[in-house]
């Protein structure tokens, strides 16, 4: 295969193909590779720490700036999964959170043909969102080469926004556009190209770390408790009552 193909697209050769394994061995292989995903995140811990501190300082400098997640396909969905929890968990203002998704909101539930390749749409959405220097733009791409995501990050740089890029390919083009570059070298998937697996897990862990520690530094956690939690149902209202008694 061509050396230009991202490792996330290559065939996994550390075992028999997963469809040649029995269920038990298949489960074990998946579990092991998920563990490996977390180890790859650990290797980038220092770069993640630097990014966290930079985001924190940027937020303090620009108290109206937004956290903006950018991605296509699985990466977009993982970004949304992380971002939407910031309001109920930490009371992060909804008007300081946004998403730029290839294919729009519909792409969260459906695969939109050619969406990740549409640079013109990236430019259009970027303009509509009015990204500026006050914002923090976090872009994710398993291949590191997604045209839509790269274009958004390129435009964000021109606006002097703080850019954080997360790539599962050390040679990904997206890395050109990051003030902070985080590489999660998850390599081949057990199903070639299915980055919803190991690459997706590594991205989720990475975003969990970033968003959690930024909110901790902002004082939105106290004694390991969600001190700023927003109760949106009966279970959470009871939790909020317990939190008030514990703090």
> Whole-angstrom Cα distance, residue 227 to residue 246?
10
CB atoms within 10 A of CB 16: 12
Catalytic (active-site) positions? 85, 116
């Amino acid at each position: 295969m061509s050396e230009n193909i991202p490792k996330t697209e290559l065939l996994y050769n550390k075992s028999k193909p997963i469809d040649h394994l029995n269920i038990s061995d298949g489960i074990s292989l998946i579990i092991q590779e998920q563990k490996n995903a977390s180890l790859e995140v650990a290797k980038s811990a220092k770069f993640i720490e630097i990014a966290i501190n930079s985001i924190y300082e940027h937020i303090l400098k620009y108290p109206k700036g937004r956290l903006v997640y950018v991605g296509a396909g699985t990466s977009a969905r993982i970004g949304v999964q992380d971002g939407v929890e910031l309001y109920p968990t930490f009371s992060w203002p909804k008007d300081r959170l946004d998403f730029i998704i290839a294919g729009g909101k519909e792409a969260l539930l459906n695969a939109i043909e050619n969406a990740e390749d549409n640079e013109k749409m990236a430019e259009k959405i970027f303009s509509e969102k009015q990204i500026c220097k006050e914002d923090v733009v976090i872009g994710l791409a398993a291949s590191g080469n997604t045209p839509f995501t790269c274009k958004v990050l390129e435009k964000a740089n021109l606006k002097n926004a703080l850019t954080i890029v997360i790539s599962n390919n050390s040679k990904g083009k997206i890395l050109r556009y990051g003030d902070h570059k985080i590489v999660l070298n998850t390599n081949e998937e057990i199903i070639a190209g299915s980055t919803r697996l190991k690459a997706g897990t590594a991205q989720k862990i990475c975003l969990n770390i970033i968003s959690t520690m930024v909110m901790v530094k902002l004082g939105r956690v106290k004694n390991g408790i969600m001190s700023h939690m927003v109760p949106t149902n009966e279970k959470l209202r009871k939790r909020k009552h317990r939190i008030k008694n514990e703090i």
